[in-house]
């Protein structure tokens, strides 16, 4: 559903304008509602889920046994930090200050369409991630089978 990379500016009130190309899909598929939470795998970014996709993931994460530290960490970062956001009349959403601060998002950010969700990266973290190269030692069996 979502793909592509868009440079985003966060305004002084912590709002970002959802790119026009995605607004119809967000309105149609998500009823203008998204859920924003931390990326539990990489610092410097947030996840933005369509509401229905979020509910499925939330239920799966909450069903994990809480006695395991890794499960508890996933529950805290995804479910505990989740915030509902809704597009306003100008197609903007407000990113909570706590979320922006935790991942280092200030004025400049990058919004990535990642299929079923968006990732919102601080500009610096995104550039650092892109500059990292993937070595042969990092390739999994699944990646080796891709026709890149």
pLDDT of residue 143: 67
- The distance between the two most distant Cα atoms of the chain, rounded to a whole number of Å, is 48
**Which tokens hold the place of 95?**
């990113």
In a domain, 109, yes or no: yes
Span of 33-37, 40-44, 118-122 with lowest mean pLDDT = 40-44
In a domain, 148, yes or no: no
DSSP labels for 32-77? Answer: TEEEEEE-SSSTTEEEEEEHHHHHHHHHHHHTS-TTSHHHHHHHII
Q: How far apart are CA 98 and CA 135, in angstroms?
A: 35
In a domain, 144, yes or no: no
In a domain, 37, yes or no: yes
pLDDT of 115-127, one tens digit each?
999 999 999 999 8
Nearest to 52 by CA among 32, 69, 80, 68: 32
Q: Which domain holds residue 34?
A: 2-132
Element (H, E) at 126: helix 123-131
Q: What is the number of domains present in the chain? A: 1
User: CATH number for the domain including 16?
Assistant: 3.40.1550.20
pLDDT of 70-103, one tens digit each?
999 999 999 999 999 999 999 999 999 999 999 9
């Amino acid at each position: 559903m979502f793909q592509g990379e868009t440079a985003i500016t966060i305004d002084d009130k912590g709002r970002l304008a959802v790119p026009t190309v995605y607004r119809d899909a967000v309105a149609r598929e998500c009823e203008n509602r998204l859920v924003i939470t931390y990326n539990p795998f990489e610092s410097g970014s947030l996840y933005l889920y369509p509401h229905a996709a979020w509910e499925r993931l939330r239920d799966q994460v909450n069903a994990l046994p809480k006695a395991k530290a890794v499960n508890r960490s996933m529950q805290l970062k995804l479910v505990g930090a989740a915030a509902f956001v809704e597009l306003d009349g100008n197609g903007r959403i407000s990113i909570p200050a706590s979320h922006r601060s935790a991942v280092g998002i200030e004025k400049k950010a990058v919004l990535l369409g990642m299929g079923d969700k968006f990732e919102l990266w601080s500009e610096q973290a995104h550039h650092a991630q892109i500059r990292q190269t993937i070595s042969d030692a990092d390739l999994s069996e699944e990646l080796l089978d891709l026709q890149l």
